[in-house]
Amino acid sequence: MNRIVTLDEFIIQKQKDFAYASGELTGLLRDIGVAAKIVNREVNKAGLVNILGEDGSANATGDTVQKLDMYANEKLIDCLKNSGECCGIASEENESFIPIPSVESKNAKYVVVFDPLDGSSNIDVNVSVGTIFGIYRRISDVSGPCEMKDFLQKGTELVAAGYVIYGTSTILVYTTGRGVNGFTLDPTIGEFCLSHKDIKIPNRGQYYSVNQGYYLKFDVEMRRYIDYCSDLNLRLRYIGSMVSDIHRTLFQGGIFLYPNTRKYPQGKLRLLYECNPLAFVVEQAGGKAITTQLNRILDIEPSDLHERQTIVIGSPDMIDEMKEFVERYSVPAYTKAT
């Protein structure tokens, strides 16, 4: 029988891959694992307690906040604050970043960005939701508090990123830039155990994933591409919970698109909390992630904590094909300008 490898053991084993590793990143990843277990416990019993539903407030980008979102947000912030391994946090649910005083953070050199509970509109109806996280090395001086520039780094600067999906089972998937591994929570022992080693995304898949209800609001080249997917008899799968849609895409191949619409002219999904961490994971698994303007997601210089972007992410051959469609059908820039 194969010996079980827990998340903690795996993370510690991997620490030796990094020259001069001080154990801070190791500690941080372990703390995120602990927070994920706490959030998982609440997500699982959400139907039993009066925690479901909206809490009546709106988050920094104007969306209605669900109670469980706030719970997950608080737990992640608490775990990270207490860990002493990070000097600042930026969350999709908070307007500005949260500096952690150096007494608590021991002059830590990392900042963490996260979406505590992505896909929250699905919470009330028992559909999978997830937590997305990214870790950057701070660029401001360690002797002072963290600064905005520590968070506004390109995705290429991510040191680690991943997600937790609270689904039929709870799975944590992460990368530190050396491949992608997945860990399934074994509820009987309360540990994440290595279950998906060195995940590789298929070059193509049978699924395309887009909110086709917005079809008429997409640009012509996107509509052409979606028609093409349908002509190929690809199967449409759209959960409306990005973590779940990306998780399927990672294992079964396919393409996920969230283009600009009239309501969201820059795209809906947040660069820092959703697009970058998931793009890092997918690229590390051999996939690609670009905007509908064909720029690599990880190369975008963020200008705002809550910046939104369009995204097309998934199997490499399918992304290349989508690119060709955009190049062929988009209205040339000079025509648009006149």
Q: Which residues bind ligand AHM (CB under 6 A)?
A: 63, 92, 115, 118-120, 211, 240-242, 268
Give the interface segment with Mg ion, choosing from 74-82, 108-116, 156-164, 197-205 (CB under 5 A): 108-116
Q: Which is nearer to ligand AHM, 181 or 249 (CB)?
A: 249
Q: Alpha-carbon distance 277 to 313, whole Å?
A: 12
Q: Which is nearer to ligand AHM, 84 or 119 (CB)?
A: 119
Length of the chain: 338
Q: Residue 164 forms beta bridges with which residues?
A: 131, 172
Q: Residue 169 forms beta bridges with which residues?
A: none
CB of 254 to ligand AHM, least distance (A): 14
CA distances from 262 to 5, 62, 164, 219, 245 (A): 47, 16, 31, 10, 23
| Residue 306 contacts residue 266 (beta carbons within 8 Å) | no
CB of 38 to ligand AHM, least distance (A): 19
Give the interface segment with Mg ion, choosing from 50-58, 117-125, 243-251, 282-290 (CB under 5 A): 117-125
- Helices 276-284, 242-252: axis angle to 10 degrees equals 10
| Residue 260 contacts residue 219 (beta carbons within 8 Å) | yes
> In this structure, is the dihedral angle defined by the CA atoms of residues 247, 263, 59 and 51, taken in order, positive or negative?
negative
| Residue 289 contacts residue 279 (beta carbons within 8 Å) | yes
Q: Is 31 a catalytic residue?
A: no
Q: Is 219 a catalytic residue?
A: no
Catalytic entry in 85, 92, 221, 307: 92
Q: Is 115 a catalytic residue?
A: yes
- Interaction of residue 118 with Mg ion, rule CB under 5 A: yes
Q: Which is nearer to Mg ion, 31 or 118 (CB)?
A: 118
Q: Alpha-carbon distance 268 to 273, whole Å?
A: 12
Q: Alpha-carbon distance 158 to 52, whole Å?
A: 33
- Interaction of residue 307 with Mg ion, rule CB under 5 A: no
Q: Is 234 a catalytic residue?
A: no
Q: Alpha-carbon distance 174 to 277, whole Å?
A: 9
- For residue 85, the partner it binds in ligand AHM, Mg ion, none, with Cβ less than 5 to 8 A by kind, is none
Catalytic entry in 8, 55, 63, 147: 63
Please give the size of the binding site for Mg ion, defined by CB under 5 A.
Answer: 2
CB of 268 to ligand AHM, least distance (A): 6
- For residue 268, the partner it binds in ligand AHM, Mg ion, none, with Cβ less than 5 to 8 A by kind, is ligand AHM
Secondary structure string (H, E, C) spanning 216-241: HHCCHHHHHHHHHHHHCCCEECCCCC
Best CA proximity match to 14, nearest among 189, 157, 154, 198: 198
Q: Which is nearer to ligand AHM, 15 or 212 (CB)?
A: 212
- Interaction of residue 115 with Mg ion, rule CB under 5 A: yes
Q: Which is nearer to ligand AHM, 27 or 259 (CB)?
A: 259
Q: Which is nearer to ligand AHM, 33 or 119 (CB)?
A: 119
Q: Is 9 a catalytic residue?
A: no
Q: Is 274 a catalytic residue?
A: yes
Residues acting as catalytic residues? 63, 69, 92-93, 115, 117-118, 274
